[in-house]
Structure 1
Amino acid sequence: MRDWLRVAVGLVLVAGTLDLRAQSVTAVPQLDHARYAGTWYAIAGYPSKRLKRCASDVTQLVAEADKASQLQFVEACKVKAGFYDANNITAKAQDKKVLDGRFKITTLWPFTRKYWVFALAPDYSWSLSGSPNRKELWVFSRTPTMSDATLAEIKAKADAMGFSSAKLVMMPQSGH
């Protein structure tokens, strides 16, 4: 009887994992780099080593680069000691012929990782971004705050792609 129970539990765990991976992760099919450029406030994100250092005001500044298929990112946050910590990131379109939401980002050459824009408000007022392997997830807004209804809508989109919105940590913003 015990062996049967172990097999049943194992099958349930495998089925749950397959279901998670079966849900598709897609990037936005078209991304206007000029409209995407500007200041983004991190409303929520998955916990990370870098994020643990941040006390508040997590932002991402995006600028168009010299090449049409490239963006420059500056990620910054106010650390617990009171000063700002910033990282420069180069984002290159994963496919230079298609300007969609798929990028390869470089923080320390030659290492790259995938960064995708999964969902975007029609007016570019919010963005759901992260890694297609579901290890990173960010909710960004053009303003330091976001309505609960909009956040709930974005979380539902993330859950539908197999992310766990329950893991999102809210980012305190001082209101700028």
Structure 2
Amino acid sequence: MKILFKSVFAATALAIISTMTQAETVAPRAVDQVDIQQYAGKWYEIAHLPMYFQRKCISDIMAQYRVNADQTMRVLNSCRIANGEMISSEGVAYPQNEGNSKLKVSFLPQGLRWIPFSKGHYWLLRVDPEYKVALVGEPSNKYLWILSREPQLDEATYQSYLDTAKHYGYDVTKLIKLPH
């Protein structure tokens, strides 16, 4: 009887802790408004969740954004691979809301970008008022990036952005930080 009580108690405690942890997280939510002119420019990737397209990157991950005449954004992602070479991928980001905080991004060749399932979500979850640090993710919690205008980010700011990511349910224990 004593063992059964301990098992029931442990299972109940685990369920309560699990429920409390789930209650602290909410679905990812993009910020209301982003000034895409201020967001444009060079960003250094501080950390990201593992993803297939970045599997060869070992350092110097950067993103360059430029606003096009039609208010889409040119995206140029680059990184250094093991042989020391810099590789890059060019795409376009299409605004999905009036606040320009939800984008769809495609890296397919221009002639194939019309294909609906070829665009990924790119939501600006947090951007500091001076556009120096940004948290980017998407609604399924599969992809996440912490970006900075500088190659390094102080620990307090990094932890603050981690807390925001955790609040939105991202598994920050899997974040990868690569050097610049």
Q: TM-score, normalised by structure 2?
A: 0.82
What is the rounded CA distance, in whole Å, between the counterparts of 1:103 and 1:50 in structure 2? 18
In structure 1, the partner of 2:87 is 85
Is residue 28–residue 100 contact of structure 1 (8 Å, CA) maintained in 2?
no
Is residue 71–residue 91 contact of structure 1 (8 Å, CA) maintained in 2?
yes
Matches within 5 A, 1:9-24: 12=15, 19=22, 23-24=26-27
Is residue 120–residue 126 contact of structure 1 (8 Å, CA) maintained in 2?
yes
Q: Structure 1 residue 51: deviation in Å? A: 2.0
- Residue deviations 1:45-104 (CA, integer Å, cap 9, x gap): 001222220111000001001112x11110000111111110111100113xx0331001
In structure 1, the partner of 2:101 is 101
Which consecutive unaligned segments of at least 5 residues does structure 2 have? none
Is residue 36–residue 124 contact of structure 1 (8 Å, CA) maintained in 2?
yes
In structure 2, the partner of 1:131 is 138
What is the rounded CA distance, in whole Å, between the counterparts of 2:123 and 2:133 in structure 1? 14
Counterpart residue identity of residue 103, structure 1: L
Aligned mate of 2:177, from 165, 170, 174: 170
Counterpart residue identity of residue 88, structure 2: A
Matches within 5 A, 1:9-158: 12=15, 19=22, 23-68=26-71, 70-95=72-97, 98-108=98-108, 109=113, 110=115, 111-158=118-165
Q: How many pairs were matched up?
A: 162
Of the two, which has the highest radius of gyration? 2
| Runs ≥4 residues deviating over 3 A | none
Is residue 162–residue 172 contact of structure 2 (8 Å, CA) maintained in 1?
yes
Task: Determine helix, strand or coil for the equivalent of 1:169.
Answer: coil
Counterpart residue identity of residue 116, structure 1: W
Which consecutive unaligned segments of at least 5 residues does structure 1 have? none
Is residue 27–residue 139 contact of structure 2 (8 Å, CA) maintained in 1?
no
Q: TM-score, normalised by structure 1?
A: 0.84
Identity rate, percent: 26
